[in-house]
Amino acid sequence: MKVIVCLLILLSTAFYSFSQNDERFNKVNSNIVNAVKQQHLFSKFIEGKIYFENKTVLSSLLNYNILTNELQFIENNDTLEVSNLSNVEKVVANNFTLLNIGKKKGLALIIAQSPDNTKQLAVKKSLITRTAQSGGFTVRNPEDVTVDIAIIGKVDYYLFNNNKATEANRKNFGKLFSNNKNDIEIYIKNNNIDFENEESIKQLFNYCISL
């Protein structure tokens, strides 16, 4: 991690352009420089509001760092981070809304929601650093020990019910829409729903809220 910190300090911060079906998140990125450039959820800092659990609201230019899992905002030309992400309820910026997953897992971006806004499907994208035997970006630490670092893209989907999050899997879909559990099971089988594919899981969610 010391190596990562050094690189983050030395490399200028660029951006990651959000794409709902980004193939880069399904494989190892062997170039740590490119990974650092992709570290932000939005292509630039955008106007938004941070809503805290204590009902206070912060308006600022903001962005979400998917490499460091930090909510960043600009104040007096300085880039700062929210000190305790667990105190954040949600973030609204342009047409985007991020909800707090809880359990220190960070923020997830809403990609579909029910007409009454009580149920949402959201995606959490992350860049994770790992040491690797091969396929990583080789650097040398101060002790002159070679370290292979792999940047792995990770995508997780969550269901929200009145701001409470659960993993978006077969079991939890059945729990959230328990009144139509049998119909949902049939739909999953007939449509070969893939819970790791965004369009597929959105298709299932939209079917559930239509029942």
Q: Which pair of tokens denotes residue 148?
A: 């292979």
CA dist., res. 117 & res. 114, Å (int) = 5
Would you state the pLDDT for residue 1? 39
* Rounded alpha-carbon distances, angstroms, from residue 186 to 61, 122, 207, 211: 45, 23, 12, 13
The residue ranges of the chain whose pLDDT is under 50 are 1-21, 23-30, 134-142
Q: What is the pLDDT of residues 94-133, one digit of tens each?
A: 999 999 999 889 999 999 999 999 999 999 999 887 765 5
Amino acid letter, 112? A
Would you state the pLDDT for residue 206? 98
Would you state the pLDDT for residue 98? 98
CB 204 within 8 A of CB 119: no
CA dist., res. 106 & res. 103, Å (int) = 8
* Rounded alpha-carbon distances, angstroms, from residue 120 to 84, 101, 112, 127, 129: 24, 12, 6, 23, 29
